[in-house]
């Protein structure tokens, strides 16, 4: 009887030791070193970027911030009791370089939403996904009727946001000068009245060394 | 040939001496003094020697905090600084981080940085400023006597 108890105690100790060991172990084993090497460094995503004078992260961030702060002061958005609904239309890229204008409008949308002053409705780019989701909930027969979202309940926007970015590039032997102008307008959909508009200008110059 | 070489060396030596003197002078230059009101709102990453934060005004309009901060370049040369505002809510928590923005100040120019807060939650702010080309590290300036800005104007 005593022998059986000793054996059981021994097994218990082994199981506990194993559990402790596995608890301490990392996913790739206790001896796996951190992945180091190469010249990779994490930088400040908000830092002023002056690598080249083509459109960069600082330009995107400055434009989004400037437009958001300006729009937040518009009486059209702040005067009423109800938070207005906005839809984002296209921002045309009229420059000679590739610029992801969607990244700019996404940043504006994010910052405006965080401010709590406005709400955004699905824009044309997201409409396909929205209608597919509604159709799946209502027509696939997979969802409970009580929890599936009804068709015909989407809200129409009060305003639409439309804009453009253009540039003027000048080159000489010593200088490469790029001037960007980002324009944004907020138009009331029902009346077609432009309720707010603003521009952000950026000049970037590089000198030959 | 020897004369030419000697002349080149002399030129190089003179250049080196001027650079060293300039470095020495800028190291000896006393860091500027800020008024307590401005110092409480402006956070410099190193003490800026050539660019001076000026008057700061704060007002609440349409439920948003609006800030206007003056930045002065008392020198005759163009100066570049980076800045951003850091917004804080009533509980002292920092709201979303802003991007650093470059600012070019022409010689003797005063500029106003004007911005509303990103959200009605913002109750206070700090102006972070960084002038990489004309700032001295904070630890170097810590034990040096501070002079009013007028003494630094050239």
The 10s digit of each residue's pLDDT in A65-86 is 999 999 999 999 988 889 999 9
Report yes or no on A127 lying in a domain. Answer: yes
pTM, entire model = 0.77
The percent of residues in chain A predicted with pLDDT above 90, rounded, is: 76
CATH number at residue A99: 3.40.50.10610
Report yes or no on A121 lying in a domain. Answer: yes
Is there a contact between A116 and B101 if contact means CB atoms under 8 Å apart?
Answer: no
- The model's confidence at residue A2, banded by pLDDT at 50, 70 and 90, is very low
Report yes or no on B22 lying in a domain. Answer: no
- The model's confidence at residue B36, banded by pLDDT at 50, 70 and 90, is confident
Report yes or no on B12 lying in a domain. Answer: no
If you average pLDDT over residues A31-36, what whole number do you get? 72
Report yes or no on A100 lying in a domain. Answer: yes
* Structural domain boundaries, residue A95: 55-138+156-209
Report yes or no on B37 lying in a domain. Answer: yes
- The model's confidence at residue B39, banded by pLDDT at 50, 70 and 90, is confident
The percent of residues in chain A predicted with pLDDT above 70, rounded, is: 84
pLDDT of residue B7 exceeding 70: no
Tell me the average pLDDT of chain A: 88
Report yes or no on A16 lying in a domain. Answer: no
Residues from chain B contacting residue A46 (CB–CB below 8 Å) = 84, 97-100
DSSP, collapsed to helix, strand or coil, labels residue A163 as strand
pLDDT in tens, A172-197: 999 999 999 999 999 999 999 999 99
Q: Own/partner pairs for B27-36, CB < 8 Å, 24+ apart?
A: B27/B136, B27/B140, B29/B136, B29/B152, B30/B144, B30/B145, B30/B146, B30/B147, B30/B151, B30/B152, B31/B136, B31/B141, B31/B144, B31/B146, B31/B147, B32/B146, B32/B147, B32/B148, B32/B149, B32/B152, B33/B146, B33/B147, B33/B148, B33/B149
Give residues 76 to 115 of B whose Cβ lies within 8 Å of A. 82, 84, 96-102, 115
Q: What's the ipTM?
A: 0.78
Amino acid B140: pLDDT: 52
CATH number at residue B100: 2.60.40.3230
pLDDT in tens, B76-93: 999 999 999 999 999 999
Structural domain count, chain A: 1
Residues from chain B contacting residue A62 (CB–CB below 8 Å) = 99, 101
Classify residue B25 as exposed, middle or buried by CB count within 10 Å of its CB (0-12, 13-18, 19+).
exposed
Amino acid B47: pLDDT: 85
- Closest chain B residue to the Cα of A114, Cα to Cα: B119
Report yes or no on B107 lying in a domain. Answer: yes
pLDDT of residue A22 exceeding 80: no
* Structural domain boundaries, residue B114: 31-151
Report yes or no on B91 lying in a domain. Answer: yes
Structural domain count, chain B: 1
- The model's confidence at residue A10, banded by pLDDT at 50, 70 and 90, is low
Count of other CB atoms within 10 angstroms of residue B121: 18
pLDDT of residue A31 exceeding 50: yes
The percent of residues in chain B predicted with pLDDT above 90, rounded, is: 51
């Amino acid at each position: 009887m005593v022998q059986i108890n000793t054996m059981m105690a021994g097994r218990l100790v082994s199981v506990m030791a194993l559990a402790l060991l596995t608890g301490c172990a990392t996913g790739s084993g206790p001896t796996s070193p951190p992945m180091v090497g190469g010249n990779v460094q994490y930088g400040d995503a908000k830092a002023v970027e002056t690598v080249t004078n083509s459109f960069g992260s600082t330009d995107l961030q400055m434009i989004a911030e400037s437009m958001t702060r300006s729009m937040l002061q518009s009486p059209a958005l702040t005067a009423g009791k109800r938070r207005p609904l906005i839809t984002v239309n296209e921002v045309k890229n009229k420059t000679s370089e590739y610029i992801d204008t969607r990244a700019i409008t996404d940043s504006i949308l994010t910052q405006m939403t965080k401010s709590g002053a406005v709400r955004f409705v699905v824009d044309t780019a997201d409409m396909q996904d929205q209608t597919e989701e509604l159709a799946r909930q209502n027509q696939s027969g997979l969802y409970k009727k009580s929890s599936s979202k009804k068709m015909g309940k989407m809200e129409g926007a009060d305003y639409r946001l439309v804009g453009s970015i253009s540039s003027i590039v000048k080159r000489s032997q010593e200088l490469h000068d790029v001037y960007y102008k980002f324009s944004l307008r907020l138009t009331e959909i029902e009346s077609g009245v432009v309720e707010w508009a603003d521009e952000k200008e950026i000049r970037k110059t590089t000198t030959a060394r | 040939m020897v004369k030419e070489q000697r002349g080149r060396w002399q030129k190089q030596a003179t250049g080196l001496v001027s650079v060293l003197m300039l470095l020495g002078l800028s190291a000896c230059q006393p860091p500027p003094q800020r008024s307590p009101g401005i110092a409480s709102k402006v956070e410099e990453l190193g003490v800026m020697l050539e660019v001076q934060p000026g008057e700061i005004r704060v007002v609440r309009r349409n439920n948003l905090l609006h800030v206007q901060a003056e930045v002065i370049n008392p020198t005759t040369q163009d100066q570049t600084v980076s800045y951003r505002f850091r917004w804080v809510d009533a509980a002292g928590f920092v709201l979303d981080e802003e991007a650093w923005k470059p600012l070019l100040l022409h010689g003797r120019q005063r500029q106003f940085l004007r911005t509303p807060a990103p959200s009605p939650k913002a109750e206070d702010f700090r102006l972070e400023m960084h002038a990489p080309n004309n700032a001295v590290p904070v630890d170097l300036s810590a034990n040096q006597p501070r002079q009013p800005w007028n003494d630094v104007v050239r």
